[in-house]
Amino acid sequence: MKFNFYLMSTIAMAALTTACTQEAKHNQLTQQEKAEGWELLFDGATLNGWRDYNGDSLTAPWFAEDGMIQAKGEGADEHGYIVTEKVYENFELVWDWKIAEGGNSGVLYHVVEHPKFAVPYVTGPEYQLIDDLGFPEPLEDWQKTAADYAMHTTDPAKTLIKPAGEWNTSKIVFDNGHVEHWLNGEKVLEFEAWTDDWFARKNSGKWENAPEYGLAHKGVICLQDHGSPVWFRNMKIKELPSKTKEVSLFNGTDLHGWEVYGTEKWYVQDGVLVCESGPDKQYGYLATREYYDDFDLSLEFKQEADGNSGVFFRSIIWPGTIVSGWQVEVAPKGHDTGGIYESYGRGWLAQIPDEKENILKEGNWNTLRIVVKGDHVQTWLNGEEMANLIDEKIGTAQGRIALQIHDGGGIKVLWKNLYLKTL
């Protein structure tokens, strides 16, 4: 009996020691997690894999210490953001966090980097982190912990936040547009991105004047130092597979799914989409309200009057009716229809040879096909290949599809049968 009691005590002590040891092992993956495809975003000792937003090194007020990523609390609205070096599309992201009393922070995803974006939150949705219980000012529901900041609020009955200085566990699931926010083991909100309801929220609130907010289908993960200390550990992510989809970009009835930029005319007549110069005779654009990065797009167009137009891809809208990105040219004969032009950049990247100019059928319907996959772009006009381009800059970009009206006036182009398949 004494031997058995001693043996049982030894086993119990060993089990307790093992449990305590395992509990203390932060910033590590189990063998099962590794097999499931999880990867650490923080190695527990360094900030390798992180850098400044829009930067190539780490200078922001963040450091690694005692097995935690720590923000010094020296950031502000316009600075203090760090991002992953890797881009993520569909994923499950889990992390532990605690915040200083009265503190404010956040985790953003699908963040787009571009010199014209001064801050990440004008592109990337944010999982809000804040001291709900001790924040010095009243908070709206859309500002509280685990909210999809300024878009979707949590279920208060399930939102159980621990006080400042204590550890919380959060999770974001982004699965081909289906989004879930979790807090301390409870799913506190879920929604579908890029639905009519989502766009109504985007266009009527804080993001009304941020045209690119939330549109990206992929981007970097971002941590925010908003002027108060915050701590992170056990940050891990598992990528989820992307699903292909087929989309009819034009419903033949109205401009649903598109957004008009500029004062030129866009309307539907007899089931056909028409673009026409207005009295201002300026540039005009009709842009998809979603991003499409890798795709196979086919459409038909007919040029009436001057046909100077084009199809932009992986393009971003800026104030002042400016679109930066790449254009597949649609123009009168002799002006490189099917060629590829970079706006506000290098200009022509792929012009067509003179002998292919006669492929364009003036005054009749033409079929244009555009395939974009990574850094590779191909175009066909009426079944004939017009451009075949590999370009590193295109490969790192993302953005909308947009139809163009060139400036100068007198332009009228008809469009129909705009079908897209994501790749």
- Which part of the chain has CATH 2.60.120.560? 19-239, 246-422
* Average pLDDT over every residue of 159-177: 97
Determine the pLDDT at residue 15.
45
CB 288, CB 226: distance < 8 Å:
no
With the C-alpha atoms ordered 398, 402, 408, 414, is the resulting torsion angle positive or negative? positive
Mean pLDDT of 84-98: 98
Residue 11: pLDDT band with limits 50, 70, 90: very low
CATH number of 19-239: 2.60.120.560
**Alpha carbon distance 293, 356 (integer Å):** 28
* pLDDT per position as a tens digit, 379-389: 999 999 999 99
pLDDT tens for residues 221-275?
Answer: 999 998 899 999 999 999 999 999 999 999 999 999 999 999 999 999 999 999 9
Residue 23 has pLDDT above 70, yes or no: no
As a whole-number percent, the residues of the chain with pLDDT over 70 amount to: 94
Looking at residue 349, what is its pLDDT?
A: 98
Pairwise pLDDT comparison (326 vs 23), residue with the higher score: 326
Would the pLDDT of 159 be above 60? yes
Strands 384-390, 376-381: pairing kind: antiparallel
Residue 60: the pLDDT is 79
- pLDDT value at residue 321: 83
Average pLDDT over residues 347-366: 96
**Is the pLDDT confidence value at 80 over 60?**
yes
d(CA 410, CA 305): 7
State what percent of residues in the chain have pLDDT above 90: 87
pLDDT band at 2 (very low <50, low <70, confident <90, very high): very low
Domain 246-422 has CATH 2.60.120.560: yes
Q: What is the DSSP string of 43-93?
A: -SS--TTEEETT-SS--SSEEEETTEEEE-S--BTTB-EEEESS-BSSEEE
- Is the model's pLDDT at 12 over the cut of 50? no
- Flag the least confident range among 22-26, 34-38, 416-420: 22-26
pTM of structure = 0.90
What mean pLDDT is predicted for residues 57-66? Answer: 91
- Does position 317 have pLDDT exceeding 80, yes or no? yes
* 115 strand-pairing partners: none
Q: What is the pLDDT of residue 21?
A: 40
How confident is residue 19, by pLDDT bands cut at 50, 70 and 90? very low
pLDDT at 412: 95
Q: What is the pLDDT of residue 24?
A: 59
Note the pLDDT tens digit of each residue in 182-208.
Answer: 999 999 999 999 999 999 999 998 999
* pLDDT reported for residue 13: 43
Q: Above 90 in pLDDT, residue 8? A: no
pLDDT over 50 (residue 6)? no
Residue 378 and residue 371 in contact, taking contact as beta carbons nearer than 8 Å: yes
How high does pLDDT run on average in the chain?
93
Cα–Cα distance measured from residue 75 to residue 131, given in angstroms and rounded to the nearest whole number:
17
